[in-house]
Amino acid sequence: MRIGIVGLGLIGGSLGFDWRDRGHTVLGYSRRPETCERAIARGAVDTAGSDPTVLQDAEVIVLATPLGVLEATVQELRGYWQPDAIVTDVGSVKQPIVSALEPLWPRFVGGHPMAGTSENGIEAALRGLFHDRPYVLTPTDQTDPEAIAVVELLAQELGSVVLRCDPVSHDRAVAAISHLPVFVSASLIQTCLQEPDPDVQTLAATLASSGFRDTSRVGGGNPELGAMMARFNQAALLEQIDRYQIQLERLKTAIAAADDAAIAAILQQNQEMRPRYL
């Protein structure tokens, strides 16, 4: 197929690598000519340009731009696409995006490949990024069945585990396992930065090792991505933060009471149940 990718960063470039490897023709679009040139040089696309006409022959359009510009991007570029083109996105929030884009394009399918790294940009793009990772589709009653089937097939070709759910359920789930961890991790870093004794803060930074690296990674990642999670998935994220605060208070109470049995019971349950999420 001829696949157009709008946005040639980590996700867009990685998709381009894998689909090209499977025999598809990948047409890239980016506002930055230097990004287009680098994507071609790295082999992530067959051709790319900052002129939207580069997408005019694409049968499938993949929107790999930040959440905050998705709607404006469709409004700006849809006049360049084939009238029967299938359009999908890769955004980490679905309900507001699906609600905004379905009326703008009749063959739109909400999508979310759940993979990434702490890096961004075309230089961070990787082959095999989506292998064995969930790729969620969020069709509605209005979604074209043929469009769903095509996007599902393309996701399967990546080696992804393809799942379907409604947009609201998706957003509630990712709020718990993806968006909440970003803000918990961010709060951990902020807590360390608020240490009042500069000598202790310096010592803590010197002593920080794998445990701090693992728990602080997502909170020290792309600020724009975190801000978009908070903006577009606000209600579900706030609900999960409330639940997290309840659990934190539960642990705080047990620690203050020196209730070793309660603490051990919570940690034992965590040890047993954590593999369910991995």
Integer Cα distance of 157 and 159 in angstroms:
5
pLDDT > 90? residue 23: yes
Q: How confident is the model at residue 120 (pLDDT cuts 50, 70, 90)?
A: confident
Residue given tokens 């951990």 in the structure block: 188
Nearest alpha carbon to residue 139 among 187, 89, 199: 89
pLDDT given at position 119: 82
Helix (H, G, I), strand (E, B), or coil: what is residue 162? strand
Integer Cα distance of 9 and 35 in angstroms:
8
Integer Cα distance of 131 and 35 in angstroms:
25
pLDDT > 80? residue 118: no
Q: In this structure, are residues 139 and 148 in contact, taking their beta carbons and an 8 Å threshold?
A: yes
Integer Cα distance of 129 and 83 in angstroms:
31
pLDDT in tens, 161-175: 999 999 999 999 999
pLDDT in tens, 145-199: 999 999 999 999 999 999 999 999 999 999 999 999 999 999 999 999 999 999 9
Residue given tokens 């930065």 in the structure block: 193
Q: What percent of the chain has pLDDT over 70?
A: 100
pLDDT given at position 21: 97
Task: Look up residue 151 and give its amino acid.
Answer: V
Helix (H, G, I), strand (E, B), or coil: what is residue 105? coil
Average pLDDT over residues 224-247: 96
